Structure formats: C-alpha cells, structure tokens
C-alpha cells in the first residue's frame, strides 16, 4: 500500500449502517479519545445546566470576605472581590465554550466560503483569493488577533471576531485543497455537463464532501481558539469584567500567584482540560472519518 501525499480523493459512499458502527468502533477505540469525549460531555453539561448547581451567584461580591482560602463554605475559596471561585468556574464554562465555538465558527464559515470559491472556480479567482489567504497566513495568529483586538476594543464580540478572523486562513487553505481535487471527479464533471448551476454543484455536491475535514479541523481548532482568548485576556485585551471567562480569571488571579495560587491554577487547569478534550475528540474524529487526513490536518 503506497502512501499518497496530497489531498485525498473522497471516499466512495459506503452502506450507512456498517459505516456508523465502524465509525463508533474506531472513534472510541483509543482510550484518550473516550476520556476526551467524556470530558467534553461533562463540560457541556456544566455549561448548560451548571447554573442550577452553582452554589453561589458568580457575580455576587462580598468585599468583607475577599481572598479567602478554601473552606467548606467556599470549596475553592473566594477571589479578590469575594466571589466564589467554584461558581465562577461553572459559569465560566459557558463563556469560554461560547467564545471558542463562535470564534471558530466565524473562521470556519468565512474560510470555507473563500476556499470553496477559490477551489471551485480556479484560475484568477483562485490566485487572488489564495494569495490573500497566504498573506494572512504569514502572520502569527496571536499577533494578528492581538492587533485586531487592540483596535476593536475589549468585549466578548470583539474577541470572537478577532480570534475568528485569525483562524480563517487555515480553513480557507484546507477547503480549497479539498475542492480542487473533488472538482476533477467524474460525477462533478457530469453534473456540469448536465447543466447544473455552479452554486448548486458547490453547495450540494462539493461541500458535503469537504465536511469531514472541516469538522475535524473545527474540533481541533476550538482548543486553540480558547487558548488565544486566554492569552488575549492575559494581555488585558480580552473579555471585560465582570464576566467569568476562564482566561480572564487566570489574568485576575495572576497577581496573587504566590499568595493565593488557586485563583489562577483552577481556571488554568480548566482551560487545559477543555483544550485537551477537544484535541482528543478531534483526533478521534479524524481517525474515524478519514485517517488519510492524518498528514494534512
């Protein structure tokens, strides 16, 4: 079996039932992936239902009881404004996950559209769009996001936009590559000969075949997006108070690293777990959906 380098041809359609079973078997086959999936489920549950279980209001300040050590009443202590750390962690799951997912969604949407158009039409369209994408790719994503965030100003929306735009080129490249190879397929050519409109072909036939790589890339990128939000918050450019996003919590607690380390340690650990989970699930998805993607994503 020789190994091909370059974008793989799409896999021929397989019978649904066997495919599903095989998918699950390969996906959950490695134990880290299963652990990652479990962690993701826990996180999403925390994000959606957490507020019901949070012991305190994460925004309720108690200026008489700031920076307290862990006690039975406050399992992880309180922060510099007397707010309960555990409650903030639980609520923080929402914002952190939301920022990660929306940012990547923005990047994926814009990037995929650009890549699709560039790959499908080829020629000058391709050259112009891909030059533009390559230009953006030459800039380190954090640097790009940082410049954007500094200019747009603080706030959740701006962070999502800044991070999303800096992740867009990767998707554009990926989808373009996929589209280029799919485009040459016989059944696409026959559709064109039959007179189907470009838009219809792109949306109905090309895009679905790109979905696997897009999904895998999305999952793998969410971790990176969350880390970028955390870095932006650390630089003071991220989400504005009193939001309980984990990145912002690490930034807030950084001042007390030597005296109350748990304030930074806990959200930092939470971030690590989330990113780890998404990466594991992404790996699993890639192996299960199309292992030939291993050299590409």
Partner 1 sequence: MTVYIARRLFDAVLLLLILSFVIFLVMRLLPGDPVLMLITGDELAQTSQERLAKLRHEFGLDEPLPIQYATWLAGFVRGKMGTSIIHRDDVRHEILRRLPITLHLGLAAFLLGSFVGLVLGTAGAVRRGGWIDAFVTFLANLGVAAPPFWFAALLIYLFGIHLRMLPVSGYTSPLTDFWLSLKQSLMPIVCLAVFPVASVARQMRSSMLDVICQDYIRTAWSKGLRERVVIMRHALKNALIPVVTLLGIILRYVVGGSVVIEIVFNIPGVGRLAVDSAVAQDYPVVQGIILVVAAIIVLINLAVDLLYGWLDPRIRYE
Partner 2 sequence: MRSTNERQPFATHRRSSPGRRFQSLGRHARNNLLHLSRSRFLVIFFTSLLLFALCGPVTAASSGGKVPAKGTATGKPQYGGVLRIVDTPPGSPFGVPWEIIGVSVCSAIPALEPLVKMDRQGNITPWLAESWKVAKDGKSVAFNIRKGVKFHDGTDLNSEAVRFNLQSEIDAKVGATMTWDSVEALNDYTVRINLKEYDNRLFVPLSGTVGTMISPTAFKKNGPDGSRWNPVGTGPFEFVSYERDVAVKYKKFKDYWDKGKPYLDAIEIRIMRDPQTMKAALLAGEIDVFGENGGELVGEMKSKGFQDIAADNGVVMLMPDSVNQDSPFASKLVREAVSTAIDREAIAKARGFGTWQPALQPAYAEQAAYLKSYRGQKYDPAKAKQLLAKAGFPSGFKTKIIPMPTVADRDAAVAIQGFLADVGIDAEVEIPEMSRYRQYQTKGWHGLLMQPWGFFASFNHYMGFYFYGAEGFVSIKRPPEFEGLFKASTATLTPDVKKMQKIEQLLCDDLTVIPTYMHTRNYIARLNVHDTGHMRWASWPWWSPADAWMSK
Structure token digits, residue 294: 């291993």
Q: d(Cα 58, Cα 267) in Å, to the nearest integer? A: 14
| Among partner 1, partner 2, none, residue 32 binds (CB under 5-8 Å by kind) | partner 1
> Closest approach of Cβ 145 to partner 2, in Å?
15
Residue 264 interacting with partner 1 (CB under 8 A): yes
Residue found under tokens 């690490």: 250
Q: d(Cα 197, Cα 181) in Å, to the nearest integer? A: 19
Instruction: Report the sign of the C-alpha dihedral through residues 195, 196, 199, 203, in that order.
Output: negative
For partner 1 (CB under 8 A), the number of binding residues is 50
Helix (H) or strand (E) holding 215: helix 207-234
Indicate which single residue of 82, 110, 113, 183 sits in contact with partner 2 (rule: CB under 8 A): 82
Q: Which is nearer to partner 1, 138 or 194 (CB)?
A: 138
Q: How many CB atoms lie within 10 A of CB 261?
A: 13
Residue 241 interacting with partner 2 (CB under 8 A): yes
Residue 231 interacting with partner 1 (CB under 8 A): yes
> Closest approach of Cβ 208 to partner 1, in Å?
26
Q: d(Cα 257, Cα 263) in Å, to the nearest integer? A: 8
Instruction: Report the sign of the C-alpha dihedral through residues 236, 222, 110, 48, in that order.
Output: negative
Residue 280 interacting with partner 1 (CB under 8 A): yes
Q: Which is nearer to partner 1, 32 or 155 (CB)?
A: 32
| Among partner 2, partner 1, none, residue 215 binds (CB under 5-8 Å by kind) | none
130 CB-near residues (< 8 Å, 6+ apart):
118, 172, 173, 176
Q: d(Cα 253, Cα 81) in Å, to the nearest integer? A: 11
Q: Which residues bind partner 1 (CB under 8 A)?
A: 1, 3, 5, 32, 131-132, 134-144, 146-148, 150-152, 223, 227, 230-231, 234-235, 237, 247, 250, 254, 257-258, 261, 264-265, 268, 271-276, 279-280, 294-296
Q: Which residues bind partner 2 (CB under 8 A)?
A: 26, 29-30, 59-61, 63-64, 66, 80-82, 150, 153-155, 236, 240-242, 252, 254-259, 291
């Amino acid at each position: 079996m020789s190994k091909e380098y370059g974008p793989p041809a799409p896999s021929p359609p397989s019978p649904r039932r066997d495919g599903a079973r095989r998918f699950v078997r390969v996906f959950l086959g490695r134990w880290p992936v299963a652990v990652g999936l479990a962690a993701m489920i826990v996180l999403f549950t925390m994000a959606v239902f957490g507020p019901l279980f949070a012991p305190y209001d994460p925004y309720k300040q108690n200026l008489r009881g700031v920076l307290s050590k862990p006690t039975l009443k406050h399992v992880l202590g309180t922060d510099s404004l007397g707010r309960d750390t555990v409650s903030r962690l639980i609520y923080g799951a929402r914002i952190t996950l939301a920022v990660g997912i929306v940012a990547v969604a923005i990047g994926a949407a814009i990037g995929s559209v650009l890549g699709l158009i560039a790959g499908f039409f080829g020629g000058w369209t391709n050259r112009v769009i891909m030059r533009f994408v390559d230009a953006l790719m030459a800039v380190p994503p954090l640097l790009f996001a940082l410049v954007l965030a500094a200019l747009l100003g603080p706030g959740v929306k701006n962070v999502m936009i800044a991070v999303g735009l800096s992740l867009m080129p990767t998707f554009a490249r990926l989808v373009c590559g996929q589209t280029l190879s799919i485009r040459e397929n016989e059944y696409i050519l026959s559709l064109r000969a039959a007179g189907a409109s470009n838009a219809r072909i792109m949306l109905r036939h090309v895009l679905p075949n790109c979905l696997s790589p897009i999904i895998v890339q999305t999952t793998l990128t969410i971790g990176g997006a969350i880390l970028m939000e955390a870095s932006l918050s650390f630089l003071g450019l991220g989400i504005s108070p009193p939001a309980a996003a984990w990145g912002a919590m690490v930034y807030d607690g950084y001042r007390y690293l030597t005296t109350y380390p748990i304030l930074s340690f806990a959200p930092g650990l939470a971030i690590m777990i989330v990113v780890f989970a998404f990466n594991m699930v992404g790996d699993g998805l890639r192996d299960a959906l199309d292992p030939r993607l291993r050299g590409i994503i």
